[in-house]
A and B are shown apart, each in its own frame.
Chain A
Amino acid sequence: MKRLLSIFTKTHDFVDDTLNNNVEYTSYYADSLKRLKKNKAVMISFIVIVILCLMAILAPLISPYDPNQTVLEDDLLSVSWQHWFGTDEYGRDILSRIIYGTRVSLSVGIVSVFISTFIGIVIGSIAGYYGGAVDSFLSRMIEIFSAFPELIFAIGLMFVLGPGIINLFIAIGLIRWTETARLIRGQVMQIKEREFVKGCVASGGTDFWIITKHILPNCLSTIIIIITLGIPGAIMSEASLSFIGLGVQAPQASWGSMINAAQSYIRFNTVYSVIPGIAIIITVLAFNIFGDGLRDALDPRLKN
């Protein structure tokens, strides 16, 4: 998330320019889309993301076995036609568990980023809009929470909440909002000084109305980028927590917990360790490339 920082100092300059020059929104986003379509890597990663989403949604239809069906006689089988990626220590089909694992990774990735973005927007816009004492208090809050090493905070929260996918949403959502809040705060502070916002204030618009109707729409491209670039980080956090045994409830399949379990059997079944890692890499990579592409498309000046 931190790497967004340097990018945004530039992004909102660009948004300012477009606004000042009265460029229409629609054509701005249409242009971005056009630029996006031209980038092959981005389109490929987009297709990968779509496939991953389909895998998650259609998991029961496409996975060859029930992911939690234990066949103890068939434990730790190696790669074969029956089991493309072999079986795990309980004789469960690894491919099926990988497919079901997509559900965990994507849902945690997306839901927790929405949670964190929501928290970030609320806190960031309140701090940026009201300024003064409210701002200093919220800024200290942001600083306190961003000084917590993410993973350690998440570990603590998972101990408080207990294992389970809902708790993963919450824990990861709660640790990742500070950067969003900081960025939104900065943007809101700038936009609020604009003529049209001042006009609204003068004509007696409520604060809530001004923030949601006038200020936040101007932060839209920032928010889109925050969300797309936040997903891979959240997926990684989920994998890390599951790896140390603080993720989903067993027997639910998660890539991180599969890597953890596979570690016991690296001597006998190497594929078991390798496959979930590759699944994580493909997913995170796709979101990273897509996010980068989207950022570049929304701000062409950043492209080299």
Chain B
Amino acid sequence: MLRYTAKRLLQTVIVLIGITLVTFILLNIVPGDPVNLMLGKISDPETIARIRHEMGLDRPWHQQYIDFLVGVIKGDLGTSYFLKESVVDIINRSFIITLKLAGFSFVFAMALGLVCGIVSAVHRGKALDSGLMTLALLGISAPAFWVAIILQIVFGLKLDLLPISGIDSGLCYILPAIAIGSRYAASIARITRTSMLDVIRQDYIRTARAKGLSERLVIYKHALKNAMIPIVTMAGLQLSYLLTGSILVETVFSIPGIGKLIVDSMLTRDLPLIQGTVMYVATLFVLINLIVDLSYAFLDPKIRYEKGD
């Protein structure tokens, strides 16, 4: 287990370096010059050249990349070209907002998804089951940003119950969290139902039933417990839905999170900021995958690790 963890960590580092390299190359191909943009409506080639030199942008790209890596090791991701602040500060600021949003949607989606999945499994084949599963299918098929707009129209404008933009209060998070979480909730509901049904058909559940334990006890104590492994795996693997969802939903609700940061910094070709944001997000993804893999091992010791890696 320890060796496996160490091996996975090493791989993670390699993957992260690869990601920064790919990003760096992409950013060097993309047309457009941040300095030119910075100068605004009046820019002449000499001034552009002067400032590019001032910022060290006229050096070969591999040299810039090495400098970037050295910076990363020192924990310094550079300074944003436009905001003139440390990239780490800027990203932390936006990242917390996005994480908060993703966190709220996670809680919402888990609660809704688990309940619907269990109810569906218990009432298998009945109208309630097919109703809930149809809803879940709809949920998987609806784009989060569209759900966000609909929620904004209905609860923000027509009913005037909840805020439609910003992050001034906790209330502001409700609609975006629902919009982001709906798709996630739907897939949790589906996997919960499948997994529960798998477990319910197992022998020991029949035994438990035969012993005369109450149905409720059977479902919650025995079945759910065993059905959790695939649910947790799925929930972990699909955490990326929440982040992707946040990026889009943030634009609907004018929330200054990672999504806005990525698009803004792309528009201005703010290379250190883009590079830093990608690093952050990718690290989060890789770590989530790592945690899921390790926790899977933790939950089910039967899994062997030599295979497949």
A141, A147, A240, A244: the one contacting B285 at CB < 8 Å is: A147
B16, B18, B137, B146: the one contacting A277 at CB < 8 Å is: B146
Q: How many A-B residue pairs have CB under 8 A?
A: 133
Q: How large is the interface on B (under 10, 10 to 19, 20 to 34, 35 or more residues)?
A: 35 or more
Chain B residues lying within 8 Å of A155, measured Cβ to Cβ, are 262-263, 266
Chain B residues lying within 8 Å of A202, measured Cβ to Cβ, are none
Chain A residues lying within 8 Å of B230, measured Cβ to Cβ, are 6
The answer to whether B19 and A6 touch across the interface, beta carbons within 8 angstroms, is no
Residue B94 at the A interface, CB < 8 A?
no
Q: A140-B11, A143-B11, A277-B143 are in contact. Are A152 and B150 (CB under 8 A)?
A: no
For the complex, what is the distance from the CA of A148 to the CA of B240, rounded to whole Å?
A: 10
For window 82-117 of chain A, which residues contact chain B by CB distance below 8 Å?
A: none
For window 260-295 of chain B, which residues contact chain A by CB distance below 8 Å?
A: 262-263, 266, 274, 277-278, 281-282, 285-286, 289
Chain B residues lying within 8 Å of A141, measured Cβ to Cβ, are 18
Q: How far is the CB of A161 from chain B (nearest CB, A)?
A: 9
Q: A149-B282, A160-B26 are in contact. Are A280 and B143 (CB under 8 A)?
A: yes
For the complex, what is the distance from the CA of A4 to the CA of B251, rounded to whole Å?
A: 30
Is the contact region of chain A dominated by helix, strand, or loop, or is it mixed? helix
Chain A residue at smallest Cβ distance from B154:
A270
Chain B residues lying within 8 Å of A276, measured Cβ to Cβ, are 146
A150, A157, A277, A281: the one contacting B244 at CB < 8 Å is: A150
B29, B157, B252, B274: the one contacting A267 at CB < 8 Å is: B157
The answer to whether B248 and A240 touch across the interface, beta carbons within 8 angstroms, is yes
**How many positions in chain A have a CB within 8 Å of any CB in the partner chain?**
46
For the complex, what is the distance from the CA of A2 to the CA of B239, rounded to whole Å?
A: 11
Residue B177 at the A interface, CB < 8 A?
no
For the complex, what is the distance from the CA of A304 to the CA of B22, rounded to whole Å?
A: 43
Q: How far is the CB of A7 from chain B (nearest CB, A)?
A: 10
The answer to whether B153 and A266 touch across the interface, beta carbons within 8 angstroms, is yes
B18, B240, B274: the one contacting A149 at CB < 8 Å is: B240
Interface string of A159-194 (1 = CB under 8 A from B): 110000000000000000000000000100000000
B22, B137, B187: the one contacting A285 at CB < 8 Å is: B137
Chain A residue at smallest Cβ distance from B164:
A266
Q: Top 6 nearest A-B pairs by Cβ distance?
A: A277-B146, A144-B18, A284-B141, A285-B141, A151-B244, A2-B237
